[in-house]
Structure formats: C-alpha cells, structure tokens
C-alpha cells in the first residue's frame, strides 16, 4: 500500500506540475479604497498549491489499496491445479491467483489515467490552453503534448483490459458463459485491443501532428467497437439458438467438474440408499437437542459463574461414553455488563470477575432431558474465546497461565493506553502487569492469517485443556464456468476450507495448520506464510479426532450437488441449518470404522425425500457422500407447535434403505402467556420417530422407539381406525393453519387435499366440457 500511495502521489503531482510550468503568472484583483489594482500571486504559493493538490489526488487514487499486497503475494507464487478450463485452456490457478491481481492493476491504471485526463483537461480549459470546436479539440502545443500522452496511456490501458476480458468472461464476471457469446466476444476482444493500440498511436502522434479530427475519429471508432462487442452483440448472442447439442453436453460436463472443484465436492456422486452408514446407538444417533436449546438450559441451570453466558456449544460424544453429549463453554456477558446498575468500575471489568469465565461444562442427553455435569479441566478460569471482547490486565505472568504483553516500559504503556483509549494503563498499579489483548478466537486467528475468512469457533476438550477450533476459508470471485452460490451475504464462485485454527482458552496459544484435503491455492498460501501455518500432517491426533466437517464447505457442496441434478427445480433444504449425526466414521458406509460426528443436509421435493448430503472427517481427510432412494419415501407431517410448545429441528438419515426421521417437540411457553416465565428452560414434551411407513411417539427417544417397534413390521398397512384418522386430520389442520399464517396458498391447497383424503371425503369431479 505504501508503494501504491507513492506512485499515486507522484502520478498526480507530476501532471499538476506540468500545468504549473505552463502558467506564466496568476493575477488576482484587489481593491484599496476607490482604486482597483491587480496583484500577481507569488510562485511559491502556486507551487505549494500544486504539491498539496497532487497529494490530495494521490490519497484519493490510493484509497482502498490496503489489502492489495495479498493479491500481489499470491500471484507471485500462483498455484497449479493441473486442471484447465475448456475454452482458453488456462490452468484454474490462473483464475484464482493471477487474474485478480491483473484485474486490480488494470482497474487502478484505468482510474489513474482517466481521472488524469479529466482533471488536466478541465485545468487547461480553465487557463485557456484548450478549447473545443464541435467535437474537435484545439490546444496549445504544451497542452496538446500533455493531453496526447495521457490519451495514449488511457488507450493502452483499454487495450490491456481487452486482453484480460476473455479470462474475465470465462470466469463469469460478464454474465452467463454460453457458446454463442464465446464465439463473438473472444474474437471481438482482439479487435478492440488492436483498435485501442491504434488509437494510442494516433493520440501520441497528436502531440507533434496537429490533426484533431484524426484523434476524434480514432476515439469514436474505439468507443463504438467497445459498445458493440461488450454490449450489443453479447445480448443478441444470448438470445439466439444454441450452437449444437454435443458442444453443450461437453460444456455442461466441464462446468460440473469445475463447480465440484470450486466448492470442494470432488468425487461426490449419488449412492444407493442402503449404503448409508449405520447410526450409533440406533435412533439415538439422531440428536433431538440443538445448540441453542442446550445453551438455554445451561444458562438457566445456575451452573455458570455470575456475569457470564454461553459462548459456544459443540457435540462431544466422548464426554459420555458415546452417548449424545454437548460441551458448553462460557464467556463474559457483555449484555449483562451494559445493564448492570450501578455499572462496575474499570478494575472489575478488566481485572476482576468480568474479565474471565469459568470452566466448561458437559450437557448429556438423557431420557428425562439434559443433565449438566462437570468435565475434567486443568484450569480455574478461561481468558480467551468468543465473547471476550474486553482487554484484561493480570497482576503478572504465570508459567502455566495466560500469555500476553508485559507492561514494563513507560513509552510502551503510553502507546497501549492510546491504542486502547485507556488511561488506567498509565497508573502505577498497571506497571509490571500482563495485558491480554485481542482475546476473541477468530480475531486472533485473522491477525495471523488475514487471507482467510474464519467461521464461528466451537469448543473442544483434550487432555483437560479447552481449545476453540475453527475453519478458515478462501474465497474467490473468479473461477471458470462456475455459477456463484450464496456464502452468507456474498456470492462466491470459489470457497474451500484452507486452514484449521485453534486457540487455547487459558493460555491464548494460537496455532494454524493447513486443512486436511486442502487444494493448491491453500498450499500456495501456506508456502507464503511458512512458519505461521503448519502442514496438515502436523495436526495433533487429539484435534483430528474432534474436528467435524466444515460447515460452509458442506453447505456449498450440498447446494452445488442439488443444482447439478436434473430434477432439482423444486428441491428445498429440509432444514434451514445443518444437523449432526453420530454414525459409523471413516469407512463412510458399512460401519467398519469407529463412530464419528457427521454433518448432513437433507433435500425434499413434493413431500418426498430426494437426497441426503453428508460429510465426515475420516482418517485420510474429509469425505463427502450423497444418498438417494430409487423410490423416495414420503415425508411425515410437519411437527407444529403452539403458544406453549415449539418444534425442534428434524434429523433425517437412512436406515436399511428407508428414511428415518427423529424430531422433538419442546415445551417452551412464550413469555406473557399463562405458563411463560423468563427463567423457564426448554424441555422435551414429545419425541416423534418415523421409519418408512411406521411411526412412534413418546416422551423420550427410547419411548418413541418402543412405540415404533410395537407398530408392526415395516411395510405393514397403516392404522386406519377413526382415532388414527382423527389424529392425522388434527395434524393436517395445524399445518394448514401454519401455511395460511405464512400466506403459502400452494402448500395450503396441498394440505387441504390430504385432509380430504384422510377424512374420506370424495374429490368432486369436474364438469365435462360442453
């Protein structure tokens, strides 16, 4: 950024100095009594104004270039994937590393040359050295030479842009990549580049050859060519017929392969439903609790220290011998701190109880709810992690305690007090203390690896030590033939897990490794940050056994898989969030490996399950699977809530080739209702299990499973008694009410037809046409 700033200031100052040299003198009228005199402005004032204007020009031109050094760094060591796009036959590493830096430089050069042309032209018009007769410019020799060189630079930058345009087009920056547009736009870029070079020659020649009509004609032809190639012809090409079915089929196959590479879904194909791995402990492997409800129970249990709240919840079956269990970690509650009356003083916030949190807890799922237990922990308090937004000052360093900045020197404390806007650091009590700064997990990792975007950290316990673990992703707006997908509030054409980060909650130790299964771009960043990012092979065994598949990676891979299917026009995710499943691990199918935590997302269409996409961290690296039924099972009715209850998230898996769904309904009274209390904890009211065409219901997973097994063999006829039909009608009526509330009339009509079928009401026949 310093280099960009110096170049920008030099560029602006140089052109303003040329204009300053062409000005003989500037005279300002002054009035003294009844006399009006003309006074020349001193040359030193004009020179100072020129330098200040050049500085302002350079600051504006260099604004926003603070992260350009990362583009330059990765472009200098561009990765090689060994995979080329089918149009320009360039390695895809060019698109994710070299093209962004080339486009940034071209855009900067275009902005610099265009603004210089505009500013210099206006100044020459102001001093009378440039006039226009129609569209033909007339200028003094000095102004003509200056503007001729600037127009030549501008034309060369446009030629550079035309040479980059084919790669930008293939990368998807200029609309859909289809064969008719390819056949027109890429050859047209060559024509534009030739015309731009010719225009540059004519513009520079204008400095010595005073033929303004030639300059005007050259620029008119260049602008017309750009409008035609980049505006008119592509629009006509996209609306025209396709060039051929064979070419389109090859193009679609290449697009599919590149999309899977861009979103980390290589090798993901649909597999038979009976190849899904077995569940650990039967349906209990499908969890009924979710992190938000676990956090609510722990907050209301009274086990957290005063002034703290839940900062993170992670599934940890090893805490309860394989049973569904959650690791819960806490952090200072900034909301409670803001509401405290009277507010605590500086010492309490930065030295006392508000600066730390207590040890982690375990929440174990039982038949009666969640049981909160202690876990083996080697410290008395935690100092780092999500939610630790305030800095802390400890009396001094301890060998096994937090690591921070020792407050020794006077000037050091002055600088830190200014940076933190905390004059208390200058007090005598702070001398010799230990400053803990930037205590958030993702904040610390982002300082070490600014090239990656980290997701929310989750807690992990190993050898009585609490760590905050998170994945860091690499994003790119450029990738050949790939249609973008939503990643949060952004549209990206490339996003993959690149690094794995961990922060010790007690000491603040921060470590980074390349992610297992990383690609060439991540490896290039690892080489660039050698010493900060360790190889994936050095990830400790305890961490390998506790990380789960990256959330954003699975979400994007599942979305790309669904989009690639031929019948996915109406596919919708069955749940808004990913869910966890405890099933067979590294084998990914037959259950030969140990149990592991899977992450999954199910898709449905027309009331039937279409596919389940799931990921697991296996011994060799991350693995993705997708399962589809040959004849999709119909999904059961949606569990609905009331003013006293709320439905939990549905967990979907495949057991013996049939759909297995476990879902709970929680008693969560609304505040303000008769049963609503601010301190009421969620509790399970009912658990529903569906396997194929069999259903079970009970107060716990075990009770619902017993009810399901008592309902007869799989494939037996459903209960058609009046009581069963009445229960189904009531459930459908509740679903219709929910659909009507959200104004989904299509869903309302579908449920209405099902209600008629359940009640045995014959559907009316349409009158025949006359």
Q: Looking at residues 682-695, what average pLDDT do you find?
A: 86
pLDDT at 328: 94
Going along 14-73, which residue ranges are E strands?
27-32, 35-40
pLDDT at 669: 65
Measuring CA to CA, which residue among 441, 493, 430, 436 is closest to residue 472? 441
Report the side by side order of strands in the sheet with 434-436.
392-394, 434-436, 405-406
**How many CB atoms within 10 Å of residue 85?**
21
pLDDT at 39: 53
pLDDT at 693: 78
C-alpha separations of 762 from 71, 198, 717, 753 in Å? 67, 79, 21, 10
CA–CA separation, 373 vs 465, rounded Å? 16
pLDDT 10s digits, 447-483: 999 999 999 999 999 888 899 999 999 998 889 988 8
Higher pLDDT, 706 or 473: 473
pLDDT at 349: 86
Tell me the helix, strand and coil percentages in the chain, rounded to 5: 40, 25, 35
**Which run of H or of E encompasses 655?**
strand 651-655
Going along 288-443, which residue ranges are E strands?
308-315, 325-332, 361-366, 369-374, 392-394, 405-406, 434-436
pLDDT at 30: 58
Sorting pLDDT into bands at 50, 70 and 90, what band is 675? very low
What are the backbone dihedrals phi and psi of residue 184, each rounded to the nearest 5 degrees, phi first?
-105, -45
C-alpha separations of 103 from 100, 165, 214, 476, 731 in Å? 5, 9, 30, 13, 57
**Which run of H or of E encompasses 216?**
helix 212-227
pLDDT at 32: 63
pLDDT 10s digits, 410-435: 888 899 889 888 888 888 888 888 88
pLDDT 10s digits, 549-560: 999 999 999 998
Measuring CA to CA, which residue among 444, 83, 456 is closest to residue 261? 83
Going along 177-306, which residue ranges are E strands?
270-272
Would you say 457 and 547 are in contact if contact means Cβ atoms under 8 Å apart? no
Report the side by side order of strands in the sheet with 325-332.
308-315, 325-332, 361-366, 369-374
Structure tokens at 392: 């802390």
> pLDDT > 70: what percent of the chain?
86
Sorting pLDDT into bands at 50, 70 and 90, what band is 764? low
**How many CB atoms within 10 Å of residue 571?**
18
Helix and strand counts by DSSP (H, E) for the chain: 21, 29
pLDDT score of 78 more than 90: no
End-to-end Cα separation, the chain, in angstroms: 79
Sorting pLDDT into bands at 50, 70 and 90, what band is 209? confident
Higher pLDDT, 384 or 589: 384
pLDDT at 246: 44
Indicate the range of 48-62, 538-552, 587-601 predicted with least confidence. 587-601
CA–CA separation, 50 vs 18, rounded Å? 10
CA–CA separation, 674 vs 688, rounded Å? 26
CA–CA separation, 574 vs 741, rounded Å? 20
Structure tokens at 45: 């004032």
Measuring CA to CA, which residue among 12, 84, 95, 42 is closest to residue 493? 95
Specify the pTM: 0.83
pLDDT 10s digits, 375-406: 888 878 899 999 999 999 888 777 677 888 88
CA–CA separation, 347 vs 334, rounded Å? 16
pLDDT at 716: 44
pLDDT score of 41 more than 70: no
pLDDT 10s digits, 303-313: 888 889 999 99
pLDDT score of 111 more than 80: yes
* CA 70 from centre of chain: 19
Which residues sit opposite 625 in a β-bridge? 614
Would you say 460 and 405 are in contact if contact means Cβ atoms under 8 Å apart? no
Sorting pLDDT into bands at 50, 70 and 90, what band is 608? confident
Select, from the ranges 134-148, 268-282, 526-540, the one with the highest average predicted confidence (pLDDT): 526-540
Q: Looking at residues 622-642, what average pLDDT do you find?
A: 79
What are the backbone dihedrals phi and psi of residue 235, each rounded to the nearest 5 degrees, phi first?
-65, -40
Q: Looking at residues 31-39, what average pLDDT do you find?
A: 59
DSSP 710: T
Average of per-residue pLDDT values in the chain: 82
């Amino acid at each position: 950024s310093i280099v960009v700033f110096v170049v920008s200031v030099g560029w602006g100052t140089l052109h303003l100095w040329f204009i300053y040299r062409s000005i003989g003198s500037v005279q300002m009228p002054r009035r003294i009594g009844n006399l009006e005199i003309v006074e020349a402005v001193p040359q030193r004032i004009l020179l100072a104004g020129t330098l200040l204007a050049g500085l302002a020009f350079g600051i504006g031109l260099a604004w926003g270039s603070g992260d350009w050094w990362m583009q330059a760094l990765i472009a200098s060591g561009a990765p090689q994937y060994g995979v080329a796009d089918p149009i320009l036959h360039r390695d895809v590493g060019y698109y994710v590393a070299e093209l962004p830096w080339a486009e940034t430089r071209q855009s900067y050069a275009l902005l610099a040359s265009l603004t210089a042309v505009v500013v210099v032209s206006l100044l020459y018009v102001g001093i009378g050295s440039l006039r226009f007769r129609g569209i033909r410019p007339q200028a003094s020799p000095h102004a003509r030479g200056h503007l001729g060189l600037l127009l030549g630079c501008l034309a060369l930058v446009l030629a550079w842009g035309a040479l980059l345009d084919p790669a930008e087009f293939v990368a998807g920056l200029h609309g859909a990549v289809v064969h008719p547009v390819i056949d027109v736009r890429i050859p047209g870029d060559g024509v534009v580049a030739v015309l731009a070079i010719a225009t540059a020659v004519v513009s520079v020649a204008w400095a010595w050859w005073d033929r303004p009509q030639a300059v005007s004609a050259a620029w008119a032809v260049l602008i017309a060519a750009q409008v035609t190639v980049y505006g008119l012809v592509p629009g006509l090409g996209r609306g025209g017929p396709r060039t051929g079915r064979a070419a389109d089929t090859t193009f679609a196959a290449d697009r599919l392969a590149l999309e899977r590479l861009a979103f980390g879904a290589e090798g993901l194909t649909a597999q038979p439903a009976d190849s899904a791995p077995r569940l650990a402990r039967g349906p209990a492997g499908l969890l009924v609790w979710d992190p938000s409800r676990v956090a609510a129970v722990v907050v209301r249990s009274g086990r957290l220290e005063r002034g703290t709240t839940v900062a993170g919840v992670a599934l940890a079956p090893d805490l309860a011998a394989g049973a569904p269990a959650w690791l819960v970690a806490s952090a200072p509650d900034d909301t409670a701190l803001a509401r405290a009356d009277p507010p605590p003083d500086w010492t309490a916030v930065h030295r006392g109880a508000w600066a730390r949190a207590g040890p982690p807890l375990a929440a174990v799922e039982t038949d009666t709810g969640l049981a909160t237990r202690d876990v083996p922990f080697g410290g008395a308090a935690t100092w780092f992690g999500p939610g630790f937004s305030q800095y802390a000052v400890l009396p001094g360093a301890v060998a096994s305690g937090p690591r921070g900045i020792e407050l020794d020197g006077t000037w050091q404390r002055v600088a830190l007090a200014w940076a933190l806007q905390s004059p208390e650091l200058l007090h005598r009590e702070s001398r010799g203390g230990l400053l803990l700064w930037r205590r958030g997990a993702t904040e610390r990792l982002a300082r070490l690896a600014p090239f990656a975007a980290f997701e929310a950290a989750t807690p992990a316990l190993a050898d009585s030590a609490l760590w905050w673990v998170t994945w860091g992703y690499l994003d790119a707006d450029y990738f050949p033939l790939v249609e973008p997908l939503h990643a949060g509030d952004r549209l990206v054409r490339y996003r993959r897990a690149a690094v794995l980060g961990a922060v010790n909650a007690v000491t603040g130790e921060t470590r980074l490794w390349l992610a297992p299964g990383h690609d060439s771009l991540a490896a290039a960043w690892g080489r660039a940050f050698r010493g900060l990012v360790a190889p994936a092979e050095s990830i400790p065994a305890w961490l390998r056994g506790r990380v789960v598949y990256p959330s954003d990676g699975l979400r994007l891979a599942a979305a790309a898989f669904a989009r690639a299917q031929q019948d996915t026009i109406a596919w919708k995710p069955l749940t808004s969030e990913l869910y966890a499943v405890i099933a067979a691990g590294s084998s990914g199918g037959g259950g030969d490996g140990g149990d592991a935590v899977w992450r999954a997302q199910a898709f449905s269409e027309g009331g039937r399950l279409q596919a389940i996409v799931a990921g697991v961290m296996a011994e060799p690296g991350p693995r993705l699977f997708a399962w589809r039924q040959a004849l999709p099972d119909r999904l059961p009715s949606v569990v609905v809530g009331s003013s006293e209850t709320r439905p939990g998230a549905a967990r979907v898996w495949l057991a013996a080739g049939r759909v297995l769904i476990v879902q709970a309904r929680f008693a969560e009274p609304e505040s303000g209702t008769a049963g609503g209390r601010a301190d009421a904890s969620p509790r399970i009211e009912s658990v529903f299990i569906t396997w194929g065409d069999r259903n079970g219901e009970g107060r716990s997973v075990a009770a619902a499973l017993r009810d399901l097994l008592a309902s007869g063999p799989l494939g037996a006829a459903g209960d058609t008694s009046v009581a069963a039909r009445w229960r189904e009608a009531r459930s459908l009526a509740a679903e219709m009410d929910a659909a009507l509330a959200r104004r989904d009339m299509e869903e309302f009509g579908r449920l209405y037809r099902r209600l008629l079928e359940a009640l045995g009401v014959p559907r009316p026949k349409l009158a025949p046409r006359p």
